């Protein structure tokens, strides 16, 4: 593996180099933070052995800079210190250090701790698969499916749709709510940090097209396109109802753009959880059907040049000085991307959910 040793002591650098080279690693040495950052820019290390008393900036600052410069490989950071301090160690781990050991360095311990990355890679191969393609294990259930907002999604949506229509609506559960629908709309709500998407679908049957045109547009002969506009607004309204309820429980979802659906386009593959219900007035004159699915939403790692409008940032993006540039969960606009290209190093990569 490629190992960067950062230490102001030439004796300690050479000692670490000998120990690690004897174990078959490729070693780069740096005596201060400036040299270390230049080495990282040339070729990202797989492991960094970092002395806590690094020259040029604090160990915490260097770790933060390292994390911001990461490309496709996340460097494994082993912090070393001759005079360990609990507050210093805590701050370094919070900044992104992965392991810690005391000086003077012992060969066997150093080789074992640096070699921990290979064990992590073995674990990752089981999670992500041999192809390297992201896989999402939601066997334990999504955080979303444990929310009160999820359990009572039919109530919040029927309430807000009822207010939009100006009449009281009652939700009723259904095992196959969208079976008779001929037109509809779909709205994605993304929780990128959990690699999860809530796919909210609304649809109506043929008789309800006429009734919806009458109620919302004052025209029972309204065109199908006009009714589709209403359904997209229903999807927006329903999405907003669920987002507010989830936010009240501390879960912030990112809203996508509603899209039209037609007959045969309503199914979502392999949801991990599903709610199906019909919303309508007591007299049964209108049936608005809803299906709310929780589905896996794998992330993609990109650099700033690969960003496109609509992508959702999975984690907070910070500048090299540690300032927050874009909060995690942001659905990127073209203007945000333009600003990011001016201030973010082209080598920096980050995880995003694809545009919905």
What whole-number percentage of the chain has pLDDT above 70?
88
Task: Quote the pLDDT of residue 36.
Answer: 92
DSSP alpha helix (H) spans, the chain: 10-22, 33-42, 59-68, 86-95, 107-114, 116-128, 148-151, 153-165, 206-217, 224-247, 334-343
Task: Quote the pLDDT of residue 139.
Answer: 41
Mean pLDDT across 328-352: 87
Instruction: Give the tens place of pLDDT for each residue, 184-217.
Output: 999 999 998 888 899 999 999 888 999 988 888 8
Q: Is the pLDDT of residue 158 over 80?
A: yes
- Mean pLDDT is lowest, of 45-59, 142-156, 312-326, for 312-326
Task: Quote the pLDDT of residue 130.
Answer: 45
What structural domains does the chain harbor?
Answer: 2-128 (3.40.50.2300), 144-296 (3.40.1550.10), 299-353 (3.90.105.10)
Dihedral in degrees, nearest 10, Cα atoms 88, 90, 49, 133: -150
Task: Quote the pLDDT of residue 156.
Answer: 95
Q: Is the pLDDT of residue 319 over 80?
A: no
Instruction: Give the tens place of pLDDT for each residue, 76-92.
Output: 999 999 887 888 888 88
Distance of CA 318 to the CA centre of its chain: 16
Instruction: Give the tens place of pLDDT for each residue, 106-141.
Output: 999 999 989 888 777 666 655 554 444 444 443 444
Task: Quote the pLDDT of residue 72.
Answer: 46
Instruction: Give the tens place of pLDDT for each residue, 252-261.
Output: 899 988 999 8
**Distance from C-alpha of 8 to C-alpha of 59, rounded to nearest angstrom:** 12
Mean pLDDT across 328-346: 88
Q: DSSP 3-state helix, strand, coil percentages of the chain (rounded to 5)?
A: 40, 25, 35
Distance of CA 192 to the CA centre of its chain: 2
pLDDT confidence band for 152 (50 / 70 / 90): very high
Mean pLDDT across 250-270: 77
Mean pLDDT across 292-310: 89
The mean predicted confidence, pLDDT, of the chain is 85
Task: Quote the pLDDT of residue 78.
Answer: 94
Among residues 345, 302, 354, 305, the alpha carbon closest in space to that of 325 is found at 345
* Cβ neighbours of residue 143 closer than 8 Å, sequence gap 6 or more: 191, 194, 196, 251
Task: Quote the pLDDT of residue 68.
Answer: 79
Helix or strand (DSSP H, E) at 145: none
Task: Quote the pLDDT of residue 128.
Answer: 52
| Residue predicted with more confidence, 67 or 209 | 209
Mean pLDDT across 338-355: 84
Mean pLDDT across 327-334: 89
Phi-psi region of 82 (alpha: psi -120 to 50; beta: other; left: phi over 0): alpha
Instruction: Give the tens place of pLDDT for each residue, 18-62.
Output: 999 998 899 999 999 999 999 988 888 889 999 998 999 999 999
Task: Quote the pLDDT of residue 129.
Answer: 47
């Amino acid at each position: 593996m490629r190992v960067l040793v950062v230490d102001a002591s030439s004796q300690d650098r050479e000692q670490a180099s000998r120990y690690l080279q004897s174990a078959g690693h490729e070693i780069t040495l740096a005596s201060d933070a400036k040299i270390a950052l230049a080495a990282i820019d040339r070729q990202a290390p797989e492991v960094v052995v970092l002395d806590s008393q690094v020259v040029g900036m604090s160990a915490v600052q260097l770790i933060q800079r390292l994390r911001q410069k990461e490309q496709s490989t996340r460097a494994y950071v082993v912090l070393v210190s001759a005079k360990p301090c609990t507050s210093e160690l805590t701050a370094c781990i919070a900044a992104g250090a992965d392991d810690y050991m005391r000086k003077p360095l012992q060969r066997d311990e150093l080789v074992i701790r640096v070699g921990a990355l290979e064990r992590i890679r073995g674990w990752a191969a089981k999670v992500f698969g041999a192809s390297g393609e992201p896989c999402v294990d939601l066997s334990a259930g999504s955080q979303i499916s444990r929310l009160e907002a999820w359990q009572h999604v039919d109530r919040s949506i029927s309430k807000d749709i009822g207010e939009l229509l100006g009449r009281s609506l009652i939700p009723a559960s259904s095992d196959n709510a969208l079976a008779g629908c001929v037109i509809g709309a779909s709205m994605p709500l993304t929780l990128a940090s959990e690699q999860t998407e809530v796919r909210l679908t609304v649809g109506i049957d043929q008789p309800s097209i006429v009734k919806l045109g009458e109620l919302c547009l004052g025209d029972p002969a309204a065109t199908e396109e006009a009714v589709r506009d209403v359904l997209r607004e229903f999807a927006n309204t329903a999405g907003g109802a669920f987002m507010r309820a989830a936010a009240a429980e501390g879960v912030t979802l990112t809203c996508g753009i509603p899209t039209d659906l037609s007959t045969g386009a309503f199914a979502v593959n392999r949801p991990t959880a599903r709610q199906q219900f019909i919303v309508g007035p007591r007299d049964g004159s209108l049936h608005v059907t809803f299906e709310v699915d929780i589905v896996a939403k794998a992330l993609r790692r990109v650099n700033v040049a690969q960003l496109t409008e609509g992508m959702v940032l999975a984690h907070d993006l910070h500048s090299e000085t540690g300032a927050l540039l874009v909060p995690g969960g942001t659905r990127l606009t073209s203007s945000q991307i333009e600003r990011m290209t001016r201030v973010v190093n082209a080598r920096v990569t980050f995880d995003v959910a694809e545009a919905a």
